[in-house]
Amino acid sequence: MTSSLTTVSVKDFYREVFGENCHDLDTILNDQQMKDLGHFNVFNFKDVWKNKTTTMPYSRKVYYKISLIRGRNNVEYADKVVEIQDFGILFATPKVPYRYIPQGGEQGGQFCIFTKEFLAKSKSGFLIDDVPIFQPNTDFVYHLTEQQFKELEGIYEKMHTEIASDYAFKYDLLRTYLIELIHCGQKLSPNPTSAAPQNASMRISMLFIELLERQFPIESSQNVLQLTTAKDYAAALNIHVNHLNKVLREVTGKTTSEIIASRIIQEAKILLKQTSWNVSEIAYCLGFEEIAHFSNFFKKQMSYSPLSFREL
C-alpha cells in the first residue's frame, strides 16, 4: 500500500513555510530553548500560505494547532468528514492525523501552533492532556457564527500584537490568551459529521498502517512501542475498535490484532538476529511487561522460542 501520511515536526513546518534558507530558523527553533520553554507562534493564513498548495496532505503533527477558519472547507479524519460552510475552528492534536480541503471561494483565518511544553509552563498548572477537546476520541472541529468568529479573531489579534512586543513577560500573557482560546472551544458543540465517502475504509486502513509503521524500526532498547493493542489504535484513529476490525477485515482479510502481531513478530526477528540485546530488552521495547509473555507470544507465532530462533 502506498504511504502518504507523514510526521511533521515544528522545524518541518517552518521549512515548509519559509524554506530551507530561513536564516533565523536555528535561532527560532533552538533545541534547548524549545525543551526548556516550549514553542508558540501565531500566523495569518494568507501571509503563510499565499504561495503554497491549498490542499493539506494527511499528516501527523508533533505540535498542537488551533485554526480559526473562514470559508468552505472539508475536514477529514479517520472515517469522518466535517463540513465547514462559513466559519469554524479546528483543535488539532498530535494524537489524530487529519487534513482539510478548501472547497472554493475566499479563504481566510488565523492559526497558532504550540508544543505541550509551552503550556506546561503556565502558572495555573494547565495540563493539555487533561483537556477533553484534545482527547483522541472527541470531535475537534466546531462551527462558529460570524459573531463568535469575530470574538475569537480578537484573541488572535492580541496574540499577534503581544508576540511582536518586547514585553518581558509576553509569553506568560500569550499562554493566558491560548488558554482562553481553548476554554472558548470547550464551550462549543461539535459539527455533525457527514456520511463517510466510499473510500473511507481504504483511508482508515491506510491510516492504521501508517500509525503501525511509524513505530518502527526500533532503534534503541529504550524505545518502547506506544500502541500495542487494537484498542490503542482505534483510540488514536478516533473510531470504535469493532469498526476498525470490520474495516481491516474488509480491506486486508485480517483482524487488527493479527496485523499488529505480525508486525511485532517481524521486528522481533530482526532484533533477535541483528542486535546483541538480550531477550528481556527486546520484550520490553516491544511492549511486553513480562519476558514470559513475550516468549509465549513468539513461540505461538513462530513455533520457536526467541533464544532458539536466535541460534538458528
CA neighbor of 93 nearest in space, from 130, 135, 143: 135
As a whole number, mean pLDDT of residues 28-50 equals: 72
What's the rounded Cα separation, in Å, for the pair 129 and 119? 10
Q: Please name every residue paired with 143 in a beta bridge, in sequence order, or none if there are none.
A: 88
32 pLDDT more than 50: no
Classify domain 200-311 at the CATH class level.
Answer: mainly alpha
Higher-confidence position of 116 and 242: 242
* Stretch(es) of the chain classified as CATH 1.10.10.60: 200-311
pTM for the whole thing? 0.62
**Model pLDDT, residue 22:** 58
Neighbour-count burial of 120, counting CB atoms closer than 10 A to its CB (0-12 exposed, 13-18 middle, 19+ buried): middle
Q: Which one-letter DSSP state was computed for residue 197?
A: P
Per-residue pLDDT band for 193 (boundaries 50, 70, 90) equals low
Average pLDDT, the chain: 83
Sign of CA dihedral 60, 61, 64, 66: negative
Length of the chain equals 312
Over the stretch 62-99, which tens digit does the pLDDT of each residue have? 789 999 999 998 887 755 788 898 999 999 888 776 77
Over the stretch 152-182, which tens digit does the pLDDT of each residue have? 999 999 999 999 999 999 999 999 999 999 9
C-alpha cell of residue 270? 530482526
Q: Please name every residue paired with 148 in a beta bridge, in sequence order, or none if there are none.
A: none
CA neighbor of 80 nearest in space, from 288, 238, 294: 238
60 pLDDT more than 60: no
Q: What CATH code is assigned to 6-194? A: 2.60.120
Most trustworthy range by pLDDT among 15-24, 28-37, 113-122, 291-300:
291-300
The answer to whether the beta carbons of residues 8 and 62 sit under 8 Å apart is yes
* Amino acid in position 284: Y
C-alpha cell of residue 4? 502518504
Q: Please name every residue paired with 92 in a beta bridge, in sequence order, or none if there are none.
A: 65
What's the rounded Cα separation, in Å, for the pair 117 and 96? 19
Per-residue pLDDT band for 46 (boundaries 50, 70, 90) equals confident
* Stretch(es) of the chain classified as CATH 2.60.120: 6-194
